[in-house]
Amino acid sequence: MRPGRLIGRIVLAFAGFMAVFPLLWTALNALKNNVDIITRVPRLVFTPTLANISYIIGRDSVLTGLYNSVVACGSAVLIGVVLGLPAAYAVARYPNRWAGDIQFFVLSLRFLPPVAVAIPLMVIWLQVGLYDTLPALIITYSLLTISVIMWLAIPAFQGVPKEIEEAAFVDGYGAYSVFWRIALPVAARSLAGAVAFSFVLVWNEFLIALMLSSSNAKTLPIVASELSQQGMNVPWGILNASVVLLSLPPLLFLGVLSGFLNSVFRQKKT
């Protein structure tokens, strides 16, 4: 093997190691007693404990945060699917002179600084009495999910071979049943990727949730960050356990999302 190649492989292996090691280390620390974490030389051998994890799972604030996150993100994604997918299909299949402008408008929503949206929304929700409630969070997140799902679903629908849809029209299907029975099922895999992506995006959202909740509607990221605000008095193992809990749901979508990436680029090739 040429030396350049060998060095390349070592660099690559190191990058792969760096990608996952910090996370694995956190997971390991979640299983440690405090004495095993606060050591000048990192300890690999220790007596594992489940105390941190059971403490996290048993805390009311964490459970409420988990519930809020699931409800807020689940509802927002559902709204995004119901409103975003049909609109994306129409833009992809019935192009008119506004199609480009619509796509740009949807993308431009992503340019808005979150803080510029969150400050006025906080004032608005306070005035209508919905501040610190889940509906306020769901409506706000819908803006994110609808636009992201639309943005990603347009190319997914464009990837469906036109011939299939045209054949269905010849067979006497109406425009709506072509959408339901042909376009949706054929594009389902790419669409699942788009939906999963929007879920990860709102699950990970922090600034808006921080500004729109004070006690009742706190999502899991907010609860986790508050644990750390108690300074180093909180046993580190507990903090690590909360990080692991927070990170698990997005990682469940790893397979779907990497499949989505592959399908996007396979389309490009053909």
Partner 1 sequence: MPRRSSLPVTFVVPTLAILLVLSMVPTLYAIVIALQNRELSATAYSWVWFSNFFDLFSDRRFLNAVWVSVKWEIVTVVATMVVAVGLGVLMFEVAGPRLRNLYCLLFIIPVLLPRVSAAFVWKFAYHPLYGIATYPYRLLTGGLIFDPLSKPGTALFAVASVDVWQWGLFFAVIVLKLLETLPPQPIEAARLDHAKRWQIHAYVTLPMLKAPLISLMFVKMIESLRSFDLIYVMTRGGPGVATETLDMYAFSQGFIESGKVSYASAMAVLMMIATVITFTMLWKRVQA
* Shortest reach from residue 38's CB to partner 1, in Å: 5
Binding track, positions 17-46, relative to partner 1; x by CB under 8 A: -xxx-xx-xx--x-------xxxxxx----
7 CB burial (10 A radius; 0-12, 13-18, 19+): exposed
How far, in Å, CA of 96 to CA of 41, rounded?
64
How far, in Å, CA of 60 to CA of 63, rounded?
5
Select the residue interacting with partner 1 from 66, 81, 121, 241 (CB under 8 A): 121
Of residues 246 through 265, those in contact with partner 1 by CB under 8 A are 246-247, 250-251, 253-254, 257-258, 261-262, 265
107 binds partner 1 (CB under 8 A): yes
Nearest Cα residue to 179 out of 95, 88, 267:
88
* Shortest reach from residue 60's CB to partner 1, in Å: 20
Select the residue interacting with partner 1 from 3, 47, 60, 120 (CB under 8 A): 120
How far, in Å, CA of 229 to CA of 190, rounded?
40
151 binds partner 1 (CB under 8 A): no
Q: Which residues, including other chains, have CB under 8 Å from residue 27's CB and lie 6 or more apart?
A: 240, 244
Stretch that binds partner 1, among 12-20, 45-53, 60-68, 129-137 (CB under 8 A): 12-20
Select the residue interacting with partner 1 from 65, 193, 221, 235 (CB under 8 A): 221
How far, in Å, CA of 72 to CA of 219, rounded?
8
Q: What is the amino acid identity at position 93?
A: R
Select the residue interacting with partner 1 from 35, 50, 124, 188 (CB under 8 A): 124
How far, in Å, CA of 231 to CA of 190, rounded?
43
Nearest Cα residue to 235 out of 38, 81, 100:
38
12 binds partner 1 (CB under 8 A): yes
How many residues lie near partner 1 (CB under 8 A)? 96
135 binds partner 1 (CB under 8 A): no
175 binds partner 1 (CB under 8 A): yes
Select the residue interacting with partner 1 from 160, 203, 235, 238 (CB under 8 A): 203
Six token digits for residue 151: 């943005």
Residue 45 or 111: the one with the smaller Cβ distance to partner 1 is 111
* Shortest reach from residue 265's CB to partner 1, in Å: 4
Is the Cβ–Cβ distance between 239 and 179 less than 8 Å? no
SS3 content of the chain, % helix, strand, coil (to 5): 80, 0, 20
Q: What is the amino acid identity at position 50?
A: L
16 binds partner 1 (CB under 8 A): yes
188 binds partner 1 (CB under 8 A): no
Of residues 68 through 97, those in contact with partner 1 by CB under 8 A are 83-84, 86-87, 89-91, 93-94, 96
